[in-house]
């Protein structure tokens, strides 16, 4: 299975309109109409490149992640991937035509990973004739060939989660941190350093999606978004900083659905997969900054 990264993310929200100032006014994403034929005009659809949409917020009676969409290159790759999931004993569902239209893709399949997160496979996403224009002047986002960004899940066992993603979904191990019995494991399926990652710490919010990341073109884009988040009096979960393994420069802000969004730039791209060697990193995981709840908990686990 050769996935092309995170194609899209769907979010559940008890207050969809609370996402509009967060996503549009702070993150600088572009609101767009619902996909043609979807009948989902009560959702918030957000654009960040030439794709019709990348992030959708759906009305729900609960908060959190609805689904993560993983892109495949074509129909043959899609069919082969569905067969692989079936062969591994996963219950794969093929949604009806209305759901496929809602995603604006040519084909769609859905399954759950062993941790209970909902995933979708797809190919053939809709591309618009008009470009992305950020309402806040963000110069653009890094998506070409590497997907929307990454997702990080808090799970009971990072290594068990990584084992499933590598053996069943075709991800490759990038690197990891180990703090006594706890770990953070990073896996990739495109040149992006990681499209998925897992931590098994006692973090606020419990198990599930801890954050998804979007990567802007420039440090100026990140700095201005950081200022907008502060001006909006949002909960900055981790201050501006730089990871040691990416080494992305970013900040983390709490979303209206409770999980966090990482807004960054300058993440590492793996140019030559054949020469990449997975390694263990030591320390807190930061070159500088990223002070706050998430990293403080990692520091505490490291020193216990």
Q: What is the pLDDT of residues 98-141, one digit of tens each?
A: 999 999 999 999 999 999 999 999 999 999 888 999 999 999 99
pLDDT confidence of residue 303? 45
Location of each CATH 3.10.180.10 domain in the chain: 6-123, 149-303
Q: Considering the entire predicted model, what is its pTM?
A: 0.94
pLDDT confidence of residue 293? 61
**Can you list the residues of the chain whose pLDDT is less than 70?**
293-304
pLDDT confidence of residue 278? 96
CATH class belonging to 6-123: alpha beta
pLDDT confidence of residue 302? 45
Query: What are the pLDDT digits (tens) for 59-108?
Result: 999 999 999 999 999 999 999 999 999 999 999 999 999 999 999 999 99
What does each C-alpha distance from 171 to 101, 159, 188, 191, 213 come to in angstroms?
Answer: 28, 13, 5, 11, 18
In the CATH hierarchy, which fold is given to the domain comprising 149-303? 2,3-Dihydroxybiphenyl 1,2-Dioxygenase; domain 1 (3.10.180)
């Amino acid at each position: 299975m050769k996935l092309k990264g995170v194609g899209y993310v769907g979010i559940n929200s008890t207050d969809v309109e609370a996402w509009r100032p967060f996503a549009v006014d702070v993150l600088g994403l572009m609101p767009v109409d619902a996909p043609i034929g979807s009948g989902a005009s009560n959702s918030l659809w957000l654009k960040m490149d030439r794709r019709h949409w990348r992030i959708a917020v759906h009305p729900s009676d609960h908060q959190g992640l609805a689904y993560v969409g993983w892109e495949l290159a074509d129909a043959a790759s899609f069919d082969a991937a569905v067969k692989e999931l079936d062969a591994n004993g996963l219950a794969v569902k093929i949604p009806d035509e209305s759901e496929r239209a809602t995603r604006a893709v040519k084909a769609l399949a859905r399954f759950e990973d062993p941790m209970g997160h909902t995933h979708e496979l797809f190919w053939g996403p809709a591309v618009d004739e008009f470009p992305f224009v950020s309402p806040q002047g963000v110069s653009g986002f890094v998506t070409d060939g590497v997907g929307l960004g990454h997702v990080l899940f808090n799970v009971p066992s990072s290594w068990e989660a990584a084992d499933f993603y590598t053996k069943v979904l075709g991800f490759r191990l990038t690197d990891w941190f180990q703090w006594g019995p706890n770990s953070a494991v990073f896996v990739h399926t495109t040149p992006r350093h990681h499209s998925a990652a897992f931590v098994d710490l006692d973090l606020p919010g419990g198990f599930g999606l801890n954050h998804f990341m979007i990567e802007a073109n420039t440090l100026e884009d990140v700095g201005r978004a950081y200022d907008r988040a502060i001006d909006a009096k949002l909960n900055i979960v981790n201050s501006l900083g730089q990871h040691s393994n990416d080494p992305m420069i970013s900040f983390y802000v709490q979303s209206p659905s409770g999980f966090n969004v990482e807004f960054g730039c300058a993440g590492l791209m793996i140019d030559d997969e054949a020469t990449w060697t997975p390694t263990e990193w030591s320390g807190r995981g930061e070159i500088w900054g990223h002070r706050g709840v998430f990293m403080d908990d990692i520091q505490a686990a490291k020193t216990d």
